[in-house]
Amino acid sequence: MPEIKVTPLGAGQDVGRSCILVSIGGKNIMLDCGMHMGYNDDRRFPDFSYITQNGRLTDFLDCVIISHFHLDHCGALPYMSEMVGYDGPIYMTHPTKAICPILLEDFRKITVDKKGETNFFTSQMIKDCMKKVIPLNLHQTVQVDDELEIKAYYAGHVLGAAMVHIKVGSESVVYTGDYNMTPDRHLGAAWIDKCRPDILISESTYATTIRDSKRCRERDFLKKVHESIERGGKVLIPVFALGRAQELCILLETFWERMNLKAPIYFSTGLTEKANHYYKLFITWTNQKIRKTFVQRNMFEFKHIKAFDRSYADNPGPMVVFATPGMLHAGQSLQIFKKWAGNEKNMVIMPGYCVQGTIGHKILNGQRKLEMEGRATLDVKLQVEYMSFSAHADAKGIMQLIRMAEPRNMLLVHGEAVKMEFLKGKIEQEFSIDCYMPANGETTTVTTNPSVPVDISLNLLKREMALGGPLPDPKKPRTMHGTLIMKENSLKLVSSEQALKELGLNEHQLRFTCHVQLQDPHSDADTLHRIYTHLKSVLKGYTIQHLPDGTVIVESIVIKVSSSAEDSNTKVLLLSWSYQVKTWTLFLERFVIIYSFKCSEQQQDRELIDIQWGGKKIH
């Protein structure tokens, strides 16, 4: 039986460093190629030695697909393609292709130029890597080669995020990347066809969470920001450059306008302009409201939100600052946090998930003394708030996607093991499908039962419906009889008459014969007549004829009687029939009738009659 193998090189029972290796129909596909934000050594990149110990990855991979521009999904791409070695096609959507190199370069500057790390990709490597990228359009089927095809679907989450349907022959896999089943202020909800893949590989960041209403969360967020500003405090909101940042900026902009607040709101320098540019460029990827109002007013041009300069962090008085990155693991957000951490009037609001090992994760878990670089200790006195504006699907959203796609098997990645285990049980219980959650380096093998698509002729379908059978239903298969024709690599089921006509063949009839012995002292003609009379009385719905040549015909079945050469009282019944739909049933009915006729008419010992059929005896 054919099988699909899935091996996480990253994000197996872990969040971060997404990199999933899929082997399907003889093809090897890498899904995402991210880095782990919680590590500063070789562990931040996926372990590519699993694919090959030596040699370039091009020889082993048919293609690489990137779901979106977040670094935990694309951050290791230049390292993989330029330093390890991969020259094959890399697929991602147009917005991801535009934004990905900017975030990669920003991270490279922090890692290499500021921290002085080595064994990292260069600016030129990022450019060379992006030359290998082939952009995808939504709902466009792309033929990677003669057998492998991929199709992208809208995933919400961030601008340009896509789920991807991978198909080789009749086998298929859907990879979600990160997705959101709830529309927000600037993006729509994820959507996919009822494509019934063999495996649905889904993120499970919030596997055990069912979020409260978005309106309640927004109200609480605005209340906390307002209270902090009123008492003269400063509010730091660590965000990633695009996505959640725009969501919260729109929210605060509207609130500031309505409340006529004067405290300044700042956004990391340069990123606001870049964000605006890309949201204008890819306006079709935003939600309906933004697309409708875009001509009159660009929602991403803010009146109250200004560009931030690092000197502003020391300004007296209240302020709100959006700074990158979102997990406080480096960059401007970490620098501002260090300055403001000692004042209890100040507040940091973490609006999304933080990977283990980052400063964000530590303070959310209540750590109040932090060991910083150079063994310096930082006392955290400011208020720490967590308010999930995460653009990931929660448990309810994951279940919703399963109902939408109707997969045969489920595989969870990009989540914590304990939470995954809980969700796995729920999925298996509710949908009665197998659910897997492999760890990094562990391979899950799923045996597939590929279906072969067959076209059916309208005439044959009408004939079946005329017989009074139920209409075809994918959940309730039914048997249909016809002739299967293979033409130009496709299969078609047609009536036998249509098949003969299309193929220009003559019809030949195949008949089956069977001998039944019974004891009867009467003459051959008399025995045949008694059989004929009895069949007429029992089988009223059938056409039964007694022909002058000493033959009885019931539908397609011919019955003849002759005496045995050894004993004239032993009659041999010859039954002959053509191969038709109900022949075997009819034949068995005849046997029962003949047997009952024998027993009732002659009142002899009730012996079993043996019928030879294909070497087996039927009693």
Coil, strand, or helix at residue 7? strand
What is the amino acid identity at position 74? C
Q: What are phi and psi of 109, to 5 degrees?
A: -60, -45
Pairing of strands 347-350, 383-386: parallel
502 is an active site residue: no
Tokens 């009146």 belong to residue: 303
Structure tokens at 444: 């899950």
Residue by residue, what is the 3-state secondary structure of 102-138?
HHHHHHHHHHHHHCCCCCCCCHHHHHHHHCCEEEECE
**The Cα angle at residue 439 between residues 434 and 445, in degrees rounded to 5:** 45
Structure tokens at 270: 């340069």
Rounded-to-integer distance, Cα 327 and Cα 15, Å = 13
Tokens 């990094």 belong to residue: 440
Rounded-to-integer distance, Cα 495 and Cα 488, Å = 19
Crossing angle for the helix pair 94-108 and 123-130, to the nearest 10 degrees: 170
Residue 166 β-bridge partners: 150, 173
Rounded-to-integer distance, Cα 272 and Cα 303, Å = 12
Q: Which of 82, 203, 218, 247 is catalytic?
A: 203
Do residues 82 and 48 make contact, with C-beta atoms less than 8 angstroms apart? no
User: What b/e string do you get for 532-561 counting C-beta neighbours within 10 Å, with b at 16 or more?
Assistant: bebbeeebeeeebebeeeebbebbbbbbeb
C-alpha 400, offset from chain centre? 12
Rounded-to-integer distance, Cα 329 and Cα 294, Å = 35
Do residues 34 and 18 make contact, with C-beta atoms less than 8 angstroms apart? yes
Give the active site residues: 203
